[in-house]
Amino acid sequence: MSVKAIREHTGKSLLQKLLPEYSGGKHTYACPGVLVNPDVLDKTSSNTWGAIVDANPWLKEQNLVAKPDQLIKRRGKAGLIAVNKTFDEAKAWVMERMCKEQKVEEVTGQLTHFLIEPFVPHKQEEEFYICIHSLRYHDEILFYHEGGVDVGDVDAKAERLQIPTGEDPSATVVVEKLLSKVPADKQGNLSSFVLSLYKFYKDLHFAYLEINPLVMLSDNSVVPLDMAAKIDETAVFLCAQKWGEIDYPPPFGRAAYPEEALIREMDGKTGASLKLTILNERGRVWTMVAGGGASVVYADTVADYGWGGELANYGEYSGAPSTEETFVYAKTLLSLMLRYKHPEGKFLIIGGGIANFTDVAATFTGLIQALQHYADDIKEHKIKIWIRRAGPNYLEGLRKVKAAGEKLGLGLKVYGPETHITAVIPMALGLSEPLPEPDLSAPCGPPERKLLKVSGTAAATAKEVSPATKHTLVTATADTTCIVYGLQNRAVQGMLDFDFMCKRKKPSVEAMVFPFSGNHYVKFYWGTEETLMPVYTTTKEASEKHPNASVFVNFASFRSVYETSMDAMGLSTIKTVAIIAEGVPEQQTREIIKTAEAKGIGIIGPATVGGIKPGCLRLGNTGGMLDNIVMSRLYRPGSVAYVSKSGGMSNELNNMICRCSDGVCEGVAIGGDRYPGSRFLDHFLRYQDDPNAKFLLLLGEVGGTDEYDLIEAVKSGRITKPVVAWCVGTCASCFTTEVQFGHAGAQSRGDTETAAAKNKAMKEAGFHVPDSFDKLPALITKVYTELVEAGTIVETPEGETPQVPMDYTWAKKLGMVRKPASFISSISDDRGEELKYCGVPITEVFQQEMGIGGVLSLLWFRRQLPTECMKFIEMILIVTADHGPAVSGAHNTIVTARAGKDLVSALCSGLLTIGPRFGGALDDAAKMFADAYDSGVSPKDFIDKMKKTNQLIMGIGHRIKSLANPDQRVVIIKEYAKKHFKSTPILDFALQVEQLTTKKRANLILNVDGCIAVSFIDMIRSCGAFSREECDDLQSFGCLNGLFVLGRSIGFIGHYLDQLRLKQPLYRHPWDDITYIQELAGQS
């Protein structure tokens, strides 16, 4: 999610729709034109030229302008605008170019979308230039009194008006600052348009809007002739209704692939982050990288080693994608790789940063499925696969994929966190000797660091430094505590485990805030002991109850993070706010920054994983799982303080620093948005004034200018400590088109914002800058060694590694412990990608149209019964659904409903009447008839035996029905059983009994309960799905009564709803329907 360019037609359509609203009706824009796409080449489409003209008759009523609408700059100079043409001329001009290759400057691409709009006759002096764009602290309007293709360098000569965040300019200011060279008679109307345009820009969350030329005609109407615009896509939840459907086209010169659309669609439906951009479909080097920052680093390293021309794709899969999502992503990538052969083969590099919470083994299961799918093709295309991965359960993931690779004969090479993140790239490309693959029998532990031998006793000469200044961001201590917004139990437990490992005296989290469930407590572990954490509904109450908590860790979603952060900053006790959410609209971020700086509050984020100060404080999920905390020795302070844009890369820096020095002093991921709440300089000034930070590390990226502030601080002498630095995004120079990298801010808006320019400037300023990110570990080692030898850093022996108890859930997942389950369930499973009924996915239940009978067979009988059996079950439910309001169950339900009770209470009232006298005869009838038949007794002897023992024959008898007047329910059940079941011996036996009992009395027929019971026993015995023992068990378990309960519940609920619909009052039984007996017992 980021700032994205939109088509000119989209921008003009929005202006046409909303300009009257923002100008109070003073300004209108008549026609934004019509967009023509390749559908016009298809005579069967609904978007032919004829259909376009029918929908836009003005096309034949006036002269037109035609031009490509594909984010092409300087179309006029490229001869790509047809002006003052008739419709037929414009159509011919478009058709000559539609789907044809076109070179524009250095980029060649296919023309596929054209804008046709009315031609507006005007004079040159009626043209103006206007541009609105956003910066960290203000929006800026650039205006020039001349416009058109020859306007020249507007940056140098335009008038400028800076509008502070959250403010609106007046007409007077607009005239004074921007329109001084515009004729006086036009200033009023033009200033009104500028103000309306700014409201439009601001309310619809534009990030850039340029109109050149903007024409003001003699009648004072204003018309935008040419427009370029970018919208903050993250504001979709605020602006979706006003925006409508927005098409975000790819940059000109890069085709839109259906595979990209597939991944984009998946990304929109998941909480994970899935991105894919095809750069060169014939390229030899393909990457599958987890993490936004890591994806850029991998692309950089490929380019830095001279393979940029062969880099085929850019993308990421991160944020804990499911097994299925990883499978689809990997399968899509492999299908693209296999599209073209290369005689020398190809490379697939699978990697990523050390994950915070993604289960690597789960994602690799999806990867293995994709490798199995394409194994033969992979070998045929000579694709070499190199893997480097780390994070939760990484060892199991590497084991699985290594074993699968050996079984499939793919020759995979796998590495873990013992190698740094990009080490596999030069090995894969044959540029360095492959390192031995790690032993996968045990996880990678912390490095065994030997103290450096120091020659001499020379102490470092301290440089003269500027005096320390007051910092907005407060450096954490071992006493700093937090309030966490959101029920982020895993993150809070991770913070507490870190505290315990660091030997803090008390937990760093004092309280949590969750507005939706009332004040309560949540249980956490402090070491092995349990402790209770208070949860409040408001941040204000939490702050009042815990005034010492100075840090607010905000896990609110991007939709509510603005309000919750502003609320927190209104409290005097809060000094630092960490905003974890990604996708926060830039306008909201800028307002947060403005408020924070006015109040002297430090901000980390948005889009941050947090920060970590070993021995003191961990914010959120920074540092990952506990095993990574131990591996990177983050439980005790080191000498290196770093700042990273990327949260995922901060784990890699922790690992890298630990292996190349004595460890991390402090680390912060400021977030990858264009306007991070705090900048590099804010943190580096703190580090400069912290005597424990001996040297500093910066991981910047393409886009923005914050690195230059740091350069000035070094040049001015404000920062004197050694700085090792690298800006990622150097691969951008290899791309002929603009690429949006993983972070919203990772996009250059000028030559000085490129990674290469910033790396060069930092090197010239005295920073330690490697030639490539891949060389960063060696440079850290070199600088650290020099500082130790100079006496700036005094090494100490490594202490004992602390132990923290592992959570049972995670230990069980790793296969380290086992425990008998409290419950066993064999009928359903909700743990996977979708719900399963007895192993059958819910989607398959619908695809096979099993119906309620099929669902019941799966959940009750743990198997899928034949179709005729599933239909019979549904018939039972239908015929037992209701038997009128007079029966005891329905009566009870109605009385309870009329007493004002809820549905469940009324239903239970009716169900509790079911028993031997009402509805409960099914099980007894089944047992009686089945036992009699199985014993071989004749129907007459069975009747005689029941008579002698004074037992009623269950399932025989009806109040009014007889053989001459049969119960139609019995007829339906009986006929279905005879027609569809292989045999019906129990039903036949019961019918023989009926012939005898009806001779005594006509209404002693086989009733519906009896018919259902005996037919059901015949069904389960004859369908072939059950053994005889299983049939007897089902009979004894009471499932027949269960069918009656299930069916009759339908009717009971119907009676409940009926009484409410009829608004029936409280029921009171009438006196005249009660016989009152006054005598005492025993009196005659």
Q: If you write DSSP's letter for every residue of 664-726 in order, what string do you get?
A: EEEEEE--SSSS-SS-HHHHHHHHHH-TT--EEEEEEESSSSHHHHHHHHHHTTS--S-EEEE
How far apart are alpha carbons 280 and 219 in whole angstroms? 51
Residue 552 and residue 539 in contact, taking contact as beta carbons nearer than 8 Å: yes
Q: Give the pLDDT score at 468.
A: 56
pLDDT for residue 257: 87
Band of residue 745 on the pLDDT scale cut at 50, 70, 90: very low
Give the pLDDT confidence of 415-469 residue by residue, as tens digits: 999 999 999 999 999 999 999 999 888 888 888 878 888 765 554 444 545 555 6
Residue 591 phi/psi, 5-degree rounding, is: -70, -35
Report the residue count for the chain: 1084
pLDDT at 744: 47
Sequence-distant (6+) residues with CB within 8 A of 386 are 347, 348, 349, 350, 412, 413, 415, 424, 425, 427, 428
Residues marked as catalytic? 743
Element (H, E) at 485: strand 482-485
Mean pLDDT, residues 344-372 taken together: 92
> Mean of the pLDDT values across residues 66-84?
90
Beta bridge partners, 385, equal 348
**pLDDT exceeds cutoff 70 at 738:** no
Confidence of residue 750 (pLDDT cuts 50, 70, 90): low
pLDDT tens figures, 930-939:
999 999 999 9
Beta-bridged to residue 110, according to DSSP, are: 101
pLDDT in tens, 989-1042: 999 999 999 999 999 999 998 999 999 999 999 999 999 999 999 988 888 889
> What local confidence, expressed as pLDDT, does residue 737 receive?
60
Mean pLDDT on 874-887: 93
Q: What does the pLDDT average to over 947-960?
A: 90
Residue 86 and residue 63 in contact, taking contact as beta carbons nearer than 8 Å: yes
Q: What is the pLDDT of residues 369-416, one digit of tens each?
A: 999 999 999 999 999 999 999 988 899 999 999 999 999 999 999 999
Percent with pLDDT over 70 in the chain: 96
DSSP letter, residue 624:
-
> What are the tens digits of pLDDT across the range 565-603?
999 999 999 999 999 998 999 999 999 999 999 999 999
Q: Work out the percent of the chain whose per-residue pLDDT is above 90.
A: 74
Question: CB-side exposure of 314: number of CA atoms within 13 Å?
Answer: 28
DSSP-based three-state secondary structure for 413: strand
Average pLDDT of the residues in 330-348: 95
Can you tell me the distance from the alpha carbon of 289 to that of 349, in angstroms, rounded to the nearest whole number? 8
**What does the pLDDT average to over 741-752?**
55
Does the structure show a pLDDT above 80 at 804?
Answer: no
Question: Whole-number mean pLDDT of the chain?
Answer: 91
Give the mean pLDDT of 162-175. Answer: 95
Return d(Cα 811, Cα 805) in angstroms, integer: 10
Model's pTM, two decimal places? Answer: 0.79
State residue 946's pLDDT score: 92
DSSP per-residue letters across 4-71: EEE-HHHHHHHHHHHHHHHTTTS-------EEE-GGGG-TTSS--HHHHHHH-GGGGTS-EEEEE-SS
Q: What are phi and psi of 743, to 5 degrees?
A: -95, 150
CB atoms within 10 A of CB 721: 18
Q: What is the pLDDT of residue 469?
A: 63
**pLDDT given for residue 1083 in this prediction:** 66
Q: How far apart are CA 597 and CA 604, in angstroms?
A: 12
Does the structure show a pLDDT above 80 at 59?
Answer: yes
| Residue 1051 in this model has a pLDDT that exceeds 90 | yes
Query: Is residue 945 a contact partner of residue 928, using CB atoms and an 8 Å limit?
Result: no
- Tokens at 655, concatenated: 């690992």
pLDDT higher than threshold 80 for residue 310: yes
How much is the pLDDT for 748?
45
Instruction: Count other Cβ atoms within 10 Å, centred on residue 464.
Output: 6
Sign of CA dihedral 957, 963, 964, 967: positive
Pairing of strands 509-513, 482-485: parallel
